[in-house]
Structure 1
Amino acid sequence: MSLHAPLIIDIAGLTLSKTDCRRLKHPLTGGIILFARNWENRKQLAALCRDIKKVRQDLLICVDHEGGRVQRFKSDGFTHLPPMRALGELWLKDPMAATNAATACGYVLGAELRSCGVDFSFTPVLDLDYQDGAPTQAQALAAPRGGSVSLGRPGASRSSVIGDRAFARDPRAVSLLAKSLMHGLLQSGMANCGKHFPGHGFVKADSHTDIPVDRRSLKAILLDDAAPYDWLNTTLTSVMPAHVIYPRVDARPAGFSEKWLTYILRGQLGFGGAIFSDDLSMAGARLIDGKQVSYTEAAMAALNAGCDMVLLCNQSVDGGEAVDELLDGMAESLLKGAWEALEASELRRLDLLPTTPAHEWDALMVHPAYMHAMGLIP
Structure 2
Amino acid sequence: MSLNLIAIGKLLLKIAGMVDFYNKLSYMSNKLYFILFFCFYYTVSFSQKKDPLRTIDFQNQKKWVDSTYNSMTLKEKVGQLFVVQLMTKNDNSASVYKEISDHSIGGVILSNGSPTKTVNTTNKMQSLSKTPLLIGIDGEWGLKMRIDSTIKFPWNMSLGALKDNSFVERIGSSIGKHCKRMGIHINFAPVVDINTNPKNPIIGNRSYGENKFNVTNKAVSFTKGIQSEGVLACAKHFPGHGDTSKDSHKTLPTITFKKKRILDVELYPYKSLFKEGLGSVMIAHLNVPSLESNINFPSSLSKNIVTSLLKERLKFKGLIITDALGMKGVTSYDKENIDLMAFKAGNDVLLMSGDVNAGITSIINAYNNGEISNKRLEHSVKKILKAKYKVGLNNYKPIDTNNLISDLNEVDDNVLKNEVVSNIITLLKNQENFTPILNLNDNKIVHLQTGSESGMTFNNYLNKYTTVDYIKLSDYKELDNLLDKLSNYNTVIIGHHQPSNTPWDKYNFTRKELLWIDKISKNNNTILSVFAKPYSLDRLIDVESFKSIILSYQNEDVFQEKTAQMIFGSIEFNGQIPVSVLNKYKAGEGIKTFKTNRLSYGLPESVNFDSKKLNRIDSIVKVSIDSMMTPGIQLLVAKDSKVVFDKSYGKLRYDNGPQVNSMTTYDLASLTKILVTLPLIMKLYDNDVISLDSTIGELLPSYVESNKSEFTIK
Q: Is TM more than 0.5 here?
A: yes
Residue of 295, 319, 335 corresponding to 1:274: 319
2:133 aligned residue = 59
**Equivalent of 2:278 in 219, 233, 236:** 236
| Equivalent residue, structure 1, for 2:556 | none
Cα deviation for residue 18 of structure 1 reads: 5.2
User: After superposition, where does 1:96-245 map in structure 2 within 5 Å?
Assistant: 96=164, 99-131=165-197, 157-234=198-275, 235-245=277-287
Partner of 2:343: 303
CA deviations over 1:189-234 (Å, ceiling 9, x no partner): 1001010111001111111111111121100111111111112113
Contact 2:340–2:362 under 8 Å retained in 1: no
Larger RCO (alpha carbons 8 Å, 6+ apart) = 1
Q: Which has the larger radius of gyration?
A: 2
1:326 aligned residue: 359
Asked whether the 8 Å contact 2:233–2:278 carries over to 1, the reply is: yes
Q: Does 1:347 align with 2:382?
A: yes
Instruction: Tell me, yes or no, if the aligned pair for 2:192 and 2:269 is still in contact at 8 Å.
Output: yes
Which moves more between the two structures, 201-210 or 54-63? 54-63
CA distance in 2, matches of 1:215, 1:62: 32
1:25 equivalenced with 2:25 (yes/no) = no
List gaps (5 residues or longer) in structure 2.
Answer: 1-65, 70-76, 422-714
Whether contact under 8 Å (2:84, 2:96) holds in the other structure is: no
Mapped contact 2:115–2:182 kept (Cα < 8 A) = yes
TM-score by length of structure 1 reads 0.78
Residues in 1 aligned to 2:291 and 2:320: alpha-carbon distance in whole angstroms: 19
Corresponding position of 1:81: 153
Please say if residues 300 and 339 of structure 1, whose CA atoms lie closer than 8 Å, have aligned partners that are also in contact.
no
Shift of 1:260: 1.2
Q: Partner of 1:260 in structure 2?
A: 305
Q: Secondary structure at the match of 2:161?
A: helix
The answer (yes or no) to whether the contact 2:282–2:323 under 8 Å persists in 1 is: yes
Work out the CA distance in 2 between the residues paired with 1:330 and 1:28.
Answer: 14
How far did residue 376 of structure 1 move? 4.7
Kept after mapping to 1: 8 A contact 2:250/2:329: yes
- Equivalent position amino acid for 1:245 in 2: N
C-alpha displacement of 1:350: 2.6
Residues 212 and 284 in structure 1, CA contact (< 8 A), matched pair in contact too: yes
TM-fit CA distance, 1:116: 1.7
Q: Mind listing any 5+ residue stretches in structure 1 that lack a counterpart? A: 132-156, 316-321
Amino acid at match of 1:211: L
Deviations 1:329-348 (A, max 9, x none): 44444434443452221232
Identity of aligned residues (%): 24
- Cα displacement (A) at 1:283: 1.3
Is the Cα contact below 8 Å between 2:322 and 2:349 reproduced in 1? yes
SS at match of 1:159: coil
Return closer, same or farther for 1:293/1:312 CA change in 2, 3 Å cut-off: farther
Distance across 2 between alignment mates of 1:69 and 1:237? 19
Cα 1:244–1:362 shift into 2, 3 Å: closer
Q: Is contact 1:129-1:158 (8 Å) kept?
A: no
With over 3 angstroms needed to count, the CA separation of the structure-2 counterparts of 1:237 and 1:68, relative to structure 1, is closer
| CA root-mean-square deviation | 2.8
Q: Identify if the C-alpha distance between structure 1 residues 89 and 19 changes in structure 2 by more than 3 Å, giving closer, same or farther.
A: closer
Partner Cα separation in structure 1 for residue 93 and residue 309 of structure 2: 42
In the alignment, residue 110 of structure 2 is paired with which amino acid? L
